[in-house]
């Protein structure tokens, strides 16, 4: 199958492209499209065969449920058994935007879409192209991130093309994703709302709105038998580059000295090391930059938004650089720290050296 890329540029031409994309979705085909979080791989969320096609295109395990994307609040009602007061508050505060809410589902939502669960994840994206596509399709669009399963989520059309070329008919190119991390997921189907996946909307903002909010233990640490994550997708290997990645925590100077020493050691064996660092600490490494050390700047850590925005592109880039090992600084600080570290820990397969 030929995969076409069509650019949404805000001109009158967008309508024609969106209509073509919506037709594909209504026919049971798949279309990758931009959202404010990451690119999604969309299909008709009420059509079991579309959902099966999504799993097949991504190589995603079929017990890993999809998120339904809607463009209007009225579209929610037929999908869910009830709308708890906490959900009303969340939708008033954060929709449209990077927040996914888990509800108890109705029979309208096929089990193929929810990985057999009796709950359904719903989000209303704020990206105008995404909203226009959903409206034009006239159905809720089931869309996981548009990467091949296990790879970092795509934050531009080129990433989608790298992973899904030949597997889907159309990619809508809306430029770089503004946020760059997937949505925050909150489960309101239980008595106490629970964060199943951290994202741009942080714990404090949710607690300010709802009072008590719990956090799935799998969000913060390594999932094991006791802490099997409640969002099935969180248990899978994800984001991981081929090259081994180690996170290094601790004071800036000590950390830089440790990473530079590791790079020197590897250089003795003719190996090249990568270091993912922030703008603030870049000067600590720059004197050593060269054949044996590649610096991968991630932006200013004082601005979590900047780190989040470029993180997945940086992870994708690692495997193209001929590196034998990569070390990354940790980014715990700020409202986005939990979400960034959740993705980084998975990318590093939980390999963390703490020098504190
Ligand atoms: P992605 O679509 O790639 O952003 O991944 C969707 C995430 O939402 C995965 O981690 C899923 O496991 C999670 N998810 C979707 N539906 C549900 C649900 N009904 N209950 C819990 N987690 C869900
Ligand atoms: Mg994903």
Q: Is the CB of 109 under 6 A from ligand 1?
A: no
Q: Region 92-107: what's the mean pLDDT?
A: 98
Mean of per-residue pLDDT scores for the chain? 95
Does position 264 have pLDDT exceeding 90, yes or no? yes
Q: What SS3 class is residue 142?
A: strand
User: Which residue has a Cα nearest atom 13 of ligand 1?
Assistant: 231
pLDDT in tens, 12-41: 999 999 999 999 999 999 999 999 999 999
Q: Is the CB of 249 under 6 A from ligand 1?
A: no
Task: With CA atoms as reference, report the closest residue to 307 among 349, 272, 335, 286.
Answer: 335
Does position 218 have pLDDT exceeding 90, yes or no? no
The ligand whose atoms approach the alpha carbon of 41 most closely is 1
The model's confidence at residue 71, banded by pLDDT at 50, 70 and 90, is very high
Q: Region 86-111: what's the mean pLDDT?
A: 98
Mutate to test the pocket of ligand 1, among 41, 179, 197, 235 (most ligand atoms within 8 A of CB): 197
Which distant-in-sequence residues (6+ apart) come within 8 Å of 275 by Cβ? 259, 263, 285, 293, 294, 295, 296, 326, 327, 328, 329
Q: What SS3 class is residue 95?
A: coil
The reply to whether 245-354 shares the fold of 4-219 is: no
Burial of residue 72 (number of CB atoms within 10 Å: 0-12, 13-18, 19+): exposed
Residue with tokens 């997921």: 185
Q: Return the pLDDT at 225.
A: 57
* Helical (H) or strand (E) element with 282: helix 282-286
Q: Return the pLDDT at 63.
A: 85
Q: Return the pLDDT at 235.
A: 67
Q: Return the pLDDT at 6.
A: 98
User: Which residue has a Cα nearest atom 23 of ligand 1?
Assistant: 231
* Ligand 2 center–CA 82 separation, angstroms: 26
Q: Is the CB of 196 under 6 A from ligand 1?
A: yes
Does position 130 have pLDDT exceeding 70, yes or no? yes
Q: Return the pLDDT at 236.
A: 63
Mutate to test the pocket of ligand 1, among 30, 232, 234 (most ligand atoms within 8 A of CB): 232
Q: CATH number of 4-219: 1.20.1260.10, 3.90.870.10, 3.40.47.10, 2.120.10.30?
A: 3.90.870.10
Task: Tell me how far apart the alpha carbons of residues 135 and 158 are, in angstroms, rounded to a whole number.
Answer: 25
Q: Region 230-238: what's the mean pLDDT?
A: 72
Q: Is the CB of 304 under 6 A from ligand 1?
A: no
- How many Cα neighbours within 13 Å face the side chain of 101? 32
* Ligand 2 center–CA 144 separation, angstroms: 5
Whole-structure pTM value:
0.95
Does position 7 have pLDDT exceeding 70, yes or no? yes
pLDDT in tens, 105-121: 999 999 999 999 999 99
Q: Region 70-74: what's the mean pLDDT?
A: 97
Q: Region 133-137: what's the mean pLDDT?
A: 98
Does position 44 have pLDDT exceeding 90, yes or no? yes
Topology classification of domain 245-354: Rossmann fold (3.40.50)
Mutate to test the pocket of ligand 1, among 87, 116, 121 (most ligand atoms within 8 A of CB): 121
Q: Region 238-256: what's the mean pLDDT?
A: 94
Q: Region 220-244: what's the mean pLDDT?
A: 75
* Domain range list for the chain: 4-219, 245-354
User: Which residue has a Cα nearest atom 7 of ligand 1?
Assistant: 233
Q: Return the pLDDT at 220.
A: 80
Q: Is the CB of 233 under 6 A from ligand 1?
A: yes
Contact 104, 122 (CB under 8 A): no
Q: What SS3 class is residue 134?
A: helix
Which distant-in-sequence residues (6+ apart) come within 8 Å of 278 by Cβ? 297, 298, 299, 300, 301, 307, 329, 331
Q: Region 93-101: what's the mean pLDDT?
A: 98
Which of ligand 1's atoms lies nearest the C-alpha of 230? 21
pLDDT in tens, 153-189: 999 999 999 999 999 999 999 999 999 999 999 999 9
Q: Return the pLDDT at 223.
A: 65
Which of ligand 1's atoms lies nearest the C-alpha of 232? 12
* Helical (H) or strand (E) element with 19: helix 13-26
Task: Tell me how far apart the alpha carbons of residues 120 and 114 are, in angstroms, rounded to a whole number.
Answer: 6
| HEC-encoded secondary structure of 36-79 | CCCCEEEEECCCHHHHHHHHHHHCCCCCCCCEEECCCHHHCHHH
Q: Is the CB of 144 under 6 A from ligand 1?
A: yes
Residue 100 has phi, psi (to 5 degrees) of -105, 135
């Amino acid at each position: 199958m030929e995969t076409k890329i069509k650019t949404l540029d805000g001109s009158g031409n967008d309508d024609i492209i969106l209509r073509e994309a919506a037709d594909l979705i209504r026919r049971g085909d798949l279309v990758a499209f931009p959202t404010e979080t990451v690119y999604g791989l969309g299909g008709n969320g009420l059509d079991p065969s579309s959902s099966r096609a999504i799993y097949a295109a991504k190589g995603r395990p079929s017990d890993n449920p999809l998120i339904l994307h809607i463009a209007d609040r009225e579209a929610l009602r037929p999908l869910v058994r009830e709308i708890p007061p906490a959900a009303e508050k969340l939708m008033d505060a954060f929709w449209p935007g990077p927040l996914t809410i888990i509800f108890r589902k109705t029979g309208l939502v096929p089990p193929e879409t929810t990985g057999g669960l009796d709950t359904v994840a719903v989000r209303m994206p704020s990206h105008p192209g995404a909203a226009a596509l959903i409206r034009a399709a006239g159905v809720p669009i089931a869309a996981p991130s548009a990467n091949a399963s296990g790879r970092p989520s795509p934050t531009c059309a080129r990433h989608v093309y790298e992973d899904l070329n030949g597997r889907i008919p159309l990619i809508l190119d809306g430029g770089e994703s503004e946020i760059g991390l997937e949505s925050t997921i909150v489960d309101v189907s239980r008595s106490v709302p629970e964060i199943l996946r951290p994202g741009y909307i942080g714990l404090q903002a949710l607690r300010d709105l709802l009072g008590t909010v719990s956090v799935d233990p799998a969000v913060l640490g390594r999932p094991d038998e006791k802490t099997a994550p409640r969002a099935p997708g969180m248990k899978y290997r994800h984001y991981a580059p081929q090259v081994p990645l180690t996170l290094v925590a601790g004071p800036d100077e000590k950390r830089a000295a440790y990473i530079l020493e590791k790079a020197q050691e590897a250089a003795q064996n003719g190996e090249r090391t990568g270091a993912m660092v922030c703008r603030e600490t870049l000067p600590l490494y720059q004197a050593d930059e060269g054949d044996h050390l590649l610096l991968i700047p991630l932006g200013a850590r004082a601005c979590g938004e900047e780190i989040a925005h470029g993180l997945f592109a940086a992870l994708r880039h690692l495997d193209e650089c001929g590196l034998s090992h990569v070390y990354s600084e940790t980014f715990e600080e700020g409202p986005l720290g939990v979400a960034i570290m959740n993705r980084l820990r998975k990318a590093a397969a939980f390999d963390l050296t703490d020098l504190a």
